[in-house]
Amino acid sequence: MVSFIPPRSVAELEVQFGVRYPQTIGSLINGDRVEDGEETWSLQYPATEEVFASGVSLAKEKAADVAEQAAAAFKAGDWRLKPLSERQAIFYRVADQILKHKDELAFIQALETGIPYKQFQGFHVPRAAENFRFFADVASTFAGETYQQMERYLSLTLHEPIGVGLVVAPWNAPLALASMKIAACLITGNSCIVKPSEYTPYSVLRLAECVIEAGVPSTAVHVVNGLGPKAGAALVESPSVDAINFVGGTETGKRIMAAASGTLKKIGLELGGKSANIVLKSADFERALDGSLMSIFAGNGEQCLVGSRIMIERSIYEEFASAFVERAANLKIGDPFADDVEIGPLAFKSHYDRVCSYVGIAQEEGSEILCGGGRPEGADRGFFIEPVVARAQNNDARICQEEIFGPYASLMPIDDLDQGIELANQSDFGLVSYIWTDDVPSMMKASTGIRAGTVWVNTPVARDLRAHFGGYKQSGIGRDGLPGSIELFTEQKTVMLPTNPLFMPKLGTS
């Protein structure tokens, strides 16, 4: 039985946590908050549907001006010419500054998204700090190559900052993800412009202020808030922007890629997913159950890497499905700021309506809703939905092929690992995948057979920033992590030096 914890009002939360959300959220340009613009939009607390602030969209021409200012600052060398040791020291201070404001940053994100506060405080904000520490730590290892094999020449390769990087941040994990991209962009000497989601404008702005307070020049990092078709489009199309990293939906990623093609920008896209989660009879049952629940329901299920297609070996299907449904139906839903809440409201109304629509879609296609899908008892307001578990009719069902991006799990029995791999690959997406087994050959077979950018073995979510992260097929282009991020935000230059003076033909002489 789902237990519902009624949410408190924004005013009550602000008093309890000692944080007041500003009434108007603009942009951050050269360290100054700029609150004039051509359009506004309302920010709504998902748990109570209260409008608690207004966002101000920077005018399109002003957004283009920011890109030009960032390019000018790069050329002037305000940040680029600082010795690496100074940039590293500043990054360590950034990490400290983020942790100093941990409770405030977690509060803002929970208010903006409805994802539980304890998840932001316990994981997302510390991860944001760790992202800056990581890139500071590894910056000293960045190196080119030297080739001596060509007779008479020594070939050197250099990595140079690309110029202005644009980070388009998502709403579901604004600080954990934006910080990773900002850190990668800045540590190599670039200027950085961040375009947050219109649903999370203040959390990213406060992150940028922490970066500036720690010592990064205000001319090197800017936040442009606004609506995508105007402020966002101006940045994507600007010739002053040299590289773009976008995390978000696949259709938006396609539009950004098309718009960026006019100036041939370098681009990295981390897009949608419909990840397979394969559970074999050789798995540790309880560990697979715990991990499968976490992989779909953490973060309200609003993650591109959720294990939403759960494929269970037929011999354990009934036992596993029964235990999974029992646990899902027992999740605590409600107030994102309650200590024991596990699922908060979905982030905004149109998204809530879309997730709810897949209950009817599943039934129309012949799939069976095993639990959830309605409003929790006592939830007379807010974008709350009882976590959904459905038995899919087959892998072709829309609930198995379309990214729902919510607390919605689809279960399917499979005969064996071979069928699981085949079905896992029958998808337009290929971001991540999961395999639960204690059999080493099965681990290796799944790891090589599944066409996805990451295969997690006996773990729900783990990231090593030294490793590549990104997707196959319509889950993206390029890779995050140390090698991919540095490649995106740098240019590679080759310098060829003759080892001895060269004999030159004397053209133009008789």
| Residues designated as active site | 270, 304
Beta strands in 164-279 (DSSP E): 164-168, 191-195, 221-223, 243-247, 266-270, 276-279
Q: Are 6 and 201 in contact (CB under 8 A)?
A: no
> Which three-class secondary structure state does DSSP give residue 154?
strand
Distance CA(43)–CA(124), nearest Å, equals: 21
> Which three-class secondary structure state does DSSP give residue 248?
coil
A 10 A CB-CB count for 315 gives: 13
> Which three-class secondary structure state does DSSP give residue 38?
coil
Provide φ and ψ at 58, rounded to 5°.
-65, 135
- Partner residues linked to 456 by β-bridges: 434
Distances (CA, A) of 113 to 84, 170, 353, 441: 36, 11, 16, 41
Distance CA(371)–CA(321), nearest Å, equals: 11
Structure tokens that stand for 364 in this block: 């129309």
Q: What angle do CA 310, 428, 355 make, to 5 degrees?
A: 60
Distances (CA, A) of 69 to 10, 367, 419, 452: 37, 54, 54, 39
Distance CA(84)–CA(490), nearest Å, equals: 15
> Which three-class secondary structure state does DSSP give residue 434?
strand
At position 112, the amino acid (one-letter code) is E
CA torsion sign for 125, 129, 132, 138 is negative
- Partner residues linked to 436 by β-bridges: 279
Q: Are 327 and 372 in contact (CB under 8 A)?
A: no
> What is the distance between the terminal CA atoms of the chain, rounded to a whole angstrom?
98
Decide: residue 379, CB within 10 A, 0-12 exposed, 13-18 middle, 19+ buried: buried
Distance CA(424)–CA(443), nearest Å, equals: 15
Q: What angle do CA 185, 72, 80 make, to 5 degrees?
A: 45
Q: Which of these, 485, 480, 498, lies nearest to 159 by C-alpha position? A: 485
The residues near 363 (Cβ < 8 Å, ≥ 6 apart) are 369
